[in-house]
Amino acid sequence: MQSMVQKRFLILPPPGDGDNQADLDRLTHALRDEFGAVRVPLDVLLRDANVLRASGYRATATLVREDSGWTLARIQPGDAAARRYGLACDLGSTTVAVQLIDLNAGTAAATRTAVNAQVARGADILTRIFYTREPGQEAARRAELQRLAVQTIDGLISGVLADAGVDPADCPLLIVAGNTTMIHFLLGVDAFCVFSAPFAPMFNRAPAADTRALGFGYEGRLYCFPSAANYLGGDILSGLWSTNLTDSDELSLFIDIGTNGEMALGCRDFLIAGAGAAGPALEGGISKNGMRAAPGAVDRVRIEGGKLTVTTIGGAPPRGICGSGIVDLLAEMRRSGWLNVMGRLEPGASERIVSVPMEHGESEEWAVVYARDNQGAPLTFTQSDIAQFSETKAAAGTMVACLLQAAGVEPGQVQRIYLAGAFGEHLDLESSILIGLYPDLPRDRFVQAGNASLSGARKLLLDRRGLERVEDMLRDLYYLEFAMQPNFLDLMSAARYYPPLPREVRP
Amino acid sequence: MQSMVQKRFLILPPPGDGDNQADLDRLTHALRDEFGAVRVPLDVLLRDANVLRASGYRATATLVREDSGWTLARIQPGDAAARRYGLACDLGSTTVAVQLIDLNAGTAAATRTAVNAQVARGADILTRIFYTREPGQEAARRAELQRLAVQTIDGLISGVLADAGVDPADCPLLIVAGNTTMIHFLLGVDAFCVFSAPFAPMFNRAPAADTRALGFGYEGRLYCFPSAANYLGGDILSGLWSTNLTDSDELSLFIDIGTNGEMALGCRDFLIAGAGAAGPALEGGISKNGMRAAPGAVDRVRIEGGKLTVTTIGGAPPRGICGSGIVDLLAEMRRSGWLNVMGRLEPGASERIVSVPMEHGESEEWAVVYARDNQGAPLTFTQSDIAQFSETKAAAGTMVACLLQAAGVEPGQVQRIYLAGAFGEHLDLESSILIGLYPDLPRDRFVQAGNASLSGARKLLLDRRGLERVEDMLRDLYYLEFAMQPNFLDLMSAARYYPPLPREVRP
């Protein structure tokens, strides 16, 4: 495999008989024909310079691709060329995933995920950014968030290495894909700029670095997937990269919806991408009964013959409803005539639609009782909740419409739709299309991209020319500012409505 | 001046109106046309990333030439482009010199020297190497020697900056020239290899680094002048580089004699260099009355009309004799007929030539009383001392002869002789030629090169293409192993003799 990590077992002529070339020159000269001028970082020189001599000049050099050249990452005694691993990491604000890649086989040897320890300093990114802005505490708190991220990744690395029985010395490179803020946090850089006008991040490309310089226990080279803009981070670009979208003749759409929506449209010839706030609806951040995907969250809803049934995560008693449950609930209510094209509940359609007091007020509003908790208390999704969700759905739909409009293409011309991220994986496709979250296109054009951010980091590890290709992708990328589109607000208004039901699903 | 340090005051378009390019991209894009892809080290990003924003996007970028490209070394607010300094350092085993260079004027703004604090762990390099080989203490002692060197340089840097009233932020680059062992010490790398067979150093090129990574208080980029071999260190190459020898049509000889002798012969078309032990004779390391150049050391000797007079350093009462005194003493004795062509004292030539007991023995030998100390006790230079000195002189003469022989040229073809180092500066030229230490060539061909190692570091600072040119010099350099020359021992035997006196100085 032509990966970003290469190992070469070298039998070098030992010094003597008037040959007193320096050890490192001996090594770099032997590698020059294949790898050009190899850069030797100071820390590698200090740690490994004596290995050549100690091994009788039979040693294995590990090289890592950085910038436009190769960097020496390690010298190991003897022939260690057969064992070659790398680490891909998706550094999410909530969940962090680390995958150990066998670079010879091109496959994952182990994967682990954990909650980002930064959650202790704020469930969402904005809370964490404000946490770092406590006057007089800025540097200490940035350092704390950095330490929490590093500890989370470090723990996962130890785990996957142990799972697969791999020596860290055989695993010299960690590629981290994360959104712009998460990478600012990882480096300990002030991220306030990412969320405040004029929304210019400090940097898009973190320099290739020694992990020790950031406080990792794991010892290797670190590369962060570059970002393109404040809301178009390395996680999205990594995801895009994973799909081979820009190598294809097929016009493809890439959709990642979470708290933000990130979208891209393109093919071999062009790439347009944009991002915008999608609202917290899908992450359970709306309504008092909304919750993240966790045991007890309603994740599937069906209405058959006027009878509403649910399943919960882990089969636990219902505690609330998560994103996939909300999408199902709204779609099933549309299909059963409980919700009209305006997104309003139809009170006469079911006994489950009841009047409930509005929060902070004396007036009442309609709500659907989608389940009862283990005390028998009703769990409701209100008209206000639906209105909020409609904003999220409208934002996503509008972003897609804007991309299509900017490229001058009709929805039907899109040959492939990649659904990335946790919601892409868990939302029911039919439900999502029915409520207008995704465009209504032939189902075989939809591809579940899973954790595309992690996949992109893995793909980059496996491609020695990947860094240049990613830069090509970044150079060709046109960043569409959705809010600057002239008819954005019109599109957004229209997108709040729920599409008319297709003939075959009408009740 | 086209120096290795460049500064550019940039007025960048601030973000806004849909332009949310990252700050660092804004900066590197503005520099791209002139400097290509600028590398941004992690520590610079972490320290200075917020300066652009804080300065309203009116800031000064400092770039330092490294490898084959430019590295961002600092971002300063406002227009700081006019103040541009660099530091040159000659890291000697005994004396360390640091010079602050005004890179706009191309001149030295301040120079300081100090005793290398490593002297506390061994007056000579070999003692220090063995100090680092104490079992179980290797790493700690290497770290200690590193710390002592860094502290010495740091102190000198603070001194020259204060002398010239220069802000360290305007002085982003330190170039250190030192011999191979001293650079191994500076990096904390085991230097035993430099002095033990097969004499292959760990490295010849230290990576460009952040000074903080080596424990400096001074914050900047560090570049060490590369070495070519164990005894042909960065100090010698820097010295060679300072002479422009390889840019000239004139055939030139470069001579640096101390404990070791380093020699080079060349011109634009070729370069041969070699090194060998010269013995401690010139550094006062022979005879019980030999001493380093210090107050009370006899440094000049004259014999006129059979009467011997001396001067001492500082005019203090004589305590011993240093290198320049020894060269004078032997030359004057030759001229006055006190020493014959075989290098033996002529007892009848002067009352100053007396018989003294040999050390560790019952027999006696001849010695010259060259002075008396403040107690009136005779200070002598014995026949054994002369024999030892003759070895040093023979080594130097043989090295020159080998170089000439290898290049196939006659001594008379040498147009320029550069005398480098402290001995080059202090030895009397006529005396040195008379005793055969230097070749007998027209005096106007001799050039005192002074501290050529420091001059070379300064020259490199001032030349943005210097790194490549130094690499060209290294690539073209042919390293002559003196000891491997077939007639080395014959040449050495002959060179122990003292040349016949020229007609004009015969007594």
Measured distance CA(A432)–CA(A311) in Å, rounded = 18
Q: How confident is the model at residue B282 (pLDDT cuts 50, 70, 90)?
A: low
- B95: burial class by Cβ within 10 Å (0-12, 13-18, 19+)? middle
Nearest-CA distance B201 → chain A (Å): 5
* Interchain proximity A200–B23, CB inside 8 Å: yes
Residue B67 touches partner A, C-beta closer than 8 Å? yes
Chain B: closest CA distance from residue A253 (Å): 23
Helices within B311-420 (DSSP H only): 323-335, 383-407
- Asked if A41 reaches chain B (Cβ–Cβ under 8 Å), the answer is yes
Mean pLDDT of B339-362: 90
Burial label, A164 (beta-carbon count in 10 A; 0-12, 13-18, 19+): middle
CB contact under 8 A, B207 and A41: yes
Grouping H, G, I as helix, E, B as strand and the rest as coil, residue A466 is helix
H or E segment to which residue B183 belongs: helix B180-187
**The token pair that represents B20 in the structure block:** 């949310």
| Interface contact B21-A200, CB threshold 8 A | yes
The DSSP H or E segment spanning A320 is: strand A320-321
Q: Residue ranges of the alpha helices (H) in A224-335? A: 234-242, 323-335
A241 close to A463: Cβ distance less than 8 angstroms? no
As a whole number of angstroms, the distance between CA B282 and CA B260 comes to 10
Asked if A202 and B22 come within 8 Å (Cβ–Cβ), the reply is yes
| Residue A200 DSSP class | -
Q: Please give the average per-residue pLDDT across A373-394, as a whole number.
A: 91
pLDDT at A314 over 80: yes
Contact B45/A21, CB-based, under 8 Å?
no
Q: Give the whole-number percent of chain B exceeding pLDDT 90.
A: 76
Quote the CA–CA distance of B397 and B256 in Å, as a whole number.
Answer: 12
Mark yes or no for CB contact A18/B484 under 8 Å.
yes
Q: Which residues of A touch B15 (CB under 8 A)?
A: 198-200
Looking at chain A from residue 282 to 311, which residues have their Cβ under 8 Å from any Cβ of chain B?
none
Candidates B473, B481, B497; CA nearest to B406 is B481
Read off the pLDDT of each residue in B267-286 and give the average, rounded to a whole number: 77
What are the tens digits of pLDDT across the range B368-392?
A: 999 999 999 999 999 999 998 888 8
CA angle at residue B90 from B178 to B213, to 5 degrees? 70
Torsion angle defined by CA atoms of residues A311, A317, A319 and A320, in that order, rounded to the nearest 10 degrees: 10
pLDDT grade, residue A279 (50/70/90)?
low
pLDDT score of A276: 78
User: Average model confidence (pLDDT) for chain A?
Assistant: 92
Segment B357-372 mean pLDDT: 88
What percent of chain A stands above pLDDT 70? Answer: 97
**DSSP assignment letter at B220:** S
Q: What is the DSSP string of A108-150?
A: EEEEEEEE-GGGGG-SSHHHHHHHTTSTTTHHHHHHHHHHHHH
Taking residues A412-431, report their average pLDDT. Answer: 90
Adjacency order of strands within the sheet including A297-304 = A307-312, A297-304, A320-321
Residue type, A213: A
Residue-wise pLDDT for A426-478, tens only, equals 899 999 999 988 999 999 999 999 899 999 999 999 999 999 999 999 999 99
pLDDT given for residue A507 in this prediction: 59
Other CB atoms closer than 10 Å to residue B69's CB: what's the count? 14
What pLDDT band is residue B25 in, cutting at 50, 70 and 90? very high
For chain B, the residue count is 507
Is the per-residue pLDDT at B422 higher than 80? no
For residue B423, pLDDT over 80 is answered with no
Task: Using an 8 Å CB-CB cutoff, list chain A residues near B201.
Answer: 20, 22-23
Q: What is the mean pLDDT of residues B472-491?
A: 86
- Closest Cβ opposite residue B46 in set A25, A187, A198: A187
Peptide bond into B198 cis (omega under 30): yes
Task: For residue range A240-269, list pLDDT tens digits in order.
Answer: 999 999 999 999 999 998 777 899 999 999
* Phi-psi sector, B106: left (phi>0), alpha (psi -120 to 50), beta: left
CB B271 within 8 A of CB B476: yes
What burial letters (b/e) apply to B445-462, b meaning 16+ CB within 10 Å?
A: ebbebbbbbbbbbbbbbb
Q: Which residues of chain A does B67 touch, with a Cβ-Cβ cutoff of 8 Å? A: 37, 39
Give the integer Cα–Cα distance in Å for A368 and A350.
9
Locate B92 and state its tokens: 């000697």
pLDDT top residue among B430 and A421: B430
Distances in Å between the Cα of A17 and the Cα atoms of B197, B475, B476, B481 are 10, 20, 21, 10
Three-state SS for A230-256 is CCECHHHHHHHHHCCHHHCCCCEEEEE
Give the number of other CB atoms < 10 A from CB of residue A487.
12
A473 phi and psi angles, rounded to 5 deg: -60, -45
Find chain B residues with C-beta within 8 A of A484's C-beta: 18
Nearest to A20 by CA among B231, B286, B178: B231
Q: How distant is the Cα of B165 from the closest Cα of chain A, in angstroms?
A: 30
Per-residue pLDDT of B125-150, as tens digits, reads 889 999 999 999 999 999 999 999 99
| Confidence label for B122 from pLDDT (cuts 50, 70 and 90) | very high
A201 shares contact with chain B (CB less than 8 Å): yes
Q: What is the per-residue pLDDT for B506?
A: 65
How many A-B residue pairs are in contact by the CB < 8 A criterion? 140
Interval A163-167 mean pLDDT: 97
Residue B375 contacts A, CB cutoff 8 Å: no
Which segments of B106-166 are extended strands (E)? 107-115
Q: Please identify among residues 434-493 of chain A the ones whose CB lies closer than 8 Å to any CB of chain B.
A: 481, 484
pLDDT of A138 over the 80 cut: yes
Overall pTM surpassing 0.90 (yes/no)? no
Q: How distant, in Å, are the alpha carbons of B124, B419, B421, B452, B492 from that of B425?
A: 21, 7, 6, 10, 25
Is this complex scored with an ipTM above 0.90? no
Give kind and range of the element (H or E) at residue B473: helix B466-476
Euclidean distance between CA atoms A256 and A264, whole angstroms: 9
